[in-house]
Amino acid sequence: MWIKKPQRVWARIVQGHRVASGLNGNPLFPGGTIRMQAAAFLSRGLDLRGYHSGTLNVSVAPLQVCPVRARLEFRGLAWHPTEPAEDFSFFDVCFRREGEGPVAGLIYYPHPETKPTHFQQSDVLELLMPFVSGLSYGDLIELEVCREQLEFKG
């Protein structure tokens, strides 16, 4: 993937809430939120079949994430039978580990103002990527994002 007007930042892999993948065992989200949301996203034109059914959470601290203009945005997405509809944005991203080529994916951004629980800190991004083996909490990776979509301030 080629990113226009790229900006690069270092990020550290951190543990998330484990709700997107379903690994937290919450019966409200069987199989995880990504699997539950996939059909709703597909109905609006976003096919997640090439991505792992969970997010890779990374911290860009001490920087803060500042969305500018998403590549994709879905307002009022009703994906759960009992939870309220949410707004979602998606941004292009690539990441690299030292000595390896880029892996392309999306930054998954549930809008905090419509998200009922499981909020992220302002320095944490959730990445939707193909499954990548050998990643561990604490690993440092380089992110590349489009300046026109997302900025980092600090």
At residue 145, the pLDDT reads 95
- CB contact set of 52 (below 8 Å; sequence gap of 6+): 128, 129, 130, 131, 132
For 21, list phi and psi in degrees, rounded to 5: -85, -20
Six-digit token pair at 146? 């489009």
DSSP state of 117: S
3-class DSSP state of 33: helix
Nearest to 147 by CA among 88, 61, 71, 68: 68
Q: Parse the chain into domains and list their residue ranges.
A: 6-153
The residues facing 64 across adjacent strands are 153
User: For residues 16 and 119, is the Cβ–Cβ distance under 8 A?
Assistant: no
pLDDT at 81: 85
Domain 6-153 has CATH 2.40.30.30: yes
Q: How many Å apart are CA 61 and CA 69, to the nearest integer? A: 21
- What is the block-wise mean pLDDT of the chain (154 residues), using blocks of 10 residues? 79 82 63 87 95 94 93 93 91 92 94 70 91 94 94 88
Burial class (CB in 10 A: 0-12, 13-18, 19+), 87: middle
- pLDDT tens digits for range 67-98: 999 999 999 998 888 888 999 999 999 999 98
- What local confidence, expressed as pLDDT, does residue 113 receive? 80
Enter the pTM of the model: 0.89
